[in-house]
Structure 1
């Protein structure tokens, strides 16, 4: 007779695995490497999640929840009534480029690579996340075109930041773009 599932333990493992993935900015390619990183065994992860595919699906689902929480926290910054767009957007940029966010940004770039390679589940995940950001920016700007432009600006600036480490270039671009919206 098999042991009953332990939902609390499963959630704890999932949280630990996501924290480890964010810390290194990558999903490890093997379930054993992930397990080792958090001090458990691959067999324990398979026991709780059934397969590597299901484990990754749930891990990406948890990442989606964390990203959505970040989105809502940024939305709250925007809703505090800043006189213009520049200040809250630059505050968001500062937060996104902070050391604590670096692993999360790298992890999203890994997901982008998976989507580019044709992983349809990852493509759907990224489409949902992108739409959430565009909708949030639309609420902020009251202009869908400006929101989409801001979304693409941030995507490019984040990619540039991850490749070069240059924070100021993205900051300058955000400032310049918000000037065009006046």
Structure 2
């Protein structure tokens, strides 16, 4: 009977695959050069992950959960009342964490995954849908806590998720992070007054 994969080694490989993808992207990702870079073999990667697509999706999911978990932690117990002003502070802190320099290195990879998921929905489309669904679900629950009806909560969540993703992608082309920061604050200036009318 074959020995089951070592979970610690699998996690270590996954972390290193993620770092490799951040440095090299997805366009020319091939198992043999990747395996050589990691000091292993393509057969070993297939043993641990089953397929290249599954390995990539797991490495991306591992990375994605870090900012999502940070946002969930911000939603934990708080002494502040959950009102529109609190929601604005939560969104400002979420933006600060999403656009932090330590996460920016991974953003080109996400842009590439988004593009591939549009051109080849069967490859990374499910991953991108899961990412967007999780972020939207998180914000829908926040808006419901403010007393919004379900349909409106979903619309407000869609607006924030889509705007934040767009504002994360735009400065990759020209480094305009200050402009994106200003745009986020301007967006929240316009949206917050409407959150009082629940």
Residues 53, 123 of structure 2: 8 Å contact kept: no
* Residue number in structure 1 paired with 2:150: none
Which stretch shows the higher mean deviation, 67-76 or 146-155?
A: 67-76
In structure 2, C-alpha distance between the alignment counterparts of 1:47 and 1:124, rounded to whole Å: 23
Provide, for residues 10-62 of structure 1, a one-character-per-residue CA deviation record: whole Å limited to 9, x for no partner.
3322222123223x162352112212332333343244445xxx133133124
Q: Secondary structure at the match of 1:90?
A: helix
Q: Secondary structure at the match of 1:85?
A: helix
In structure 2, C-alpha distance between the alignment counterparts of 1:25 and 1:92, rounded to whole Å: 27
Provide, for residues 36-94 of structure 1, a one-character-per-residue CA deviation record: whole Å limited to 9, x for no partner.
332333343244445xxx13313312422442342132122244447433332222222
- 1:157 CA drift (Å): 0.3
* Residue number in structure 2 paired with 1:26: 25
Residues 88, 188 of structure 2: 8 Å contact kept: yes
* Residue number in structure 2 paired with 1:110: 112
Alignment of 1:1-182 (within 5 A): 4-8=3-7, 9-22=9-22, 24=23, 26-27=25-26, 28-50=28-50, 54-79=51-76, 80=78, 81=80, 83-142=85-144, 143-181=153-191, 182=193
Change over 3 Å in CA distance of 1:88–1:136 after alignment to 2: same
TM-score of the two chains, using structure 1 as the length reference: 0.82
Which stretch shows the higher mean deviation, 101-110 or 81-90?
A: 81-90
Change over 3 Å in CA distance of 1:78–1:3 after alignment to 2: closer
Residues 10, 48 of structure 1: 8 Å contact kept: yes
Q: Secondary structure at the match of 2:106?
A: helix
Please identify runs of 4+ aligned residues in structure 1 that moved more than 4 A: none
- Report the count of equivalent residues: 177
Residues 32, 42 of structure 2: 8 Å contact kept: yes
TM-score of the two chains, using structure 2 as the length reference: 0.76
Q: Any gaps of 5 or more consecutive residues in structure 1?
A: none
In structure 1, C-alpha distance between the alignment counterparts of 2:104 and 2:11, rounded to whole Å: 24
RMSD: 2.4
